[in-house]
Amino acid sequence: MAFITKNANLFLLFLIVLSSLGLVAATVYFNYTFSSVNTEYSDLERDLTTMQKEFEQKKALLQKIENELTTKTEREEEFTQKYTEVKTEKDKVASERDKFKLRSEDLEILNNNLKTRNQQLEFTNANLEAANNQLQSNVNNLRSQNNDYIKDIQRLSSDLSAYKSQLAACQANNP
């Protein structure tokens, strides 16, 4: 009988040691897993902060470009008004020429001046239109990038929530 009791005690001791080793192994595993999740969480949080800063910078740049576009549009309107004024002036000169029958030399000089002004205005209008098109293209590109950043932020926020849930589950399982 003493032999059975001794074997039972050894068996119980073996089970206690085995349980202790299992508990230690589980603790080490969960500590490693928690550290890994915590590191990933920190990395994602840092990435999210970086993306938010980039988003704010892109937003500020977009606002600046939008302001420049507004300024360019106002300038274009101003040049259009000046063009209209020059055209009106040209018509007035032509009318006066018909009325007063100026000398042909004076008339030719005035016409040459008006042609030069019209060419300058057309050149300026062409440059403004090209700049306006470029700015619009830049605005569209920035809006597209902005949308991409928003999608990335939403995806990262979703991932962050999932990691928080996993972290909470790990903490709940290991009180």
Task: Write the pLDDT tens digit of every residue in 60-116.
Answer: 999 999 999 999 999 999 999 999 999 999 899 888 888 887 677 777 888 888 899
b/e map 81-105, b = 16+ CB within 10 Å: eebeeeeeebeebeeebeeeeeeee
- The answer on pLDDT for 5 being more than 80 is no
CA–CA gap between residue 156 and residue 161 (Å, rounded): 8
Question: In 3-state terms, what secondary structure has residue 1?
Answer: coil
Domain ranges of the chain: 52-173
DSSP letters, 31-45, are HHHHHHHHHHHHHHH
pLDDT tens digit sequence for 115-164: 998 999 999 999 989 989 998 999 899 999 999 999 999 999 999 999 98
Question: In 3-state terms, what secondary structure has residue 174?
Answer: coil
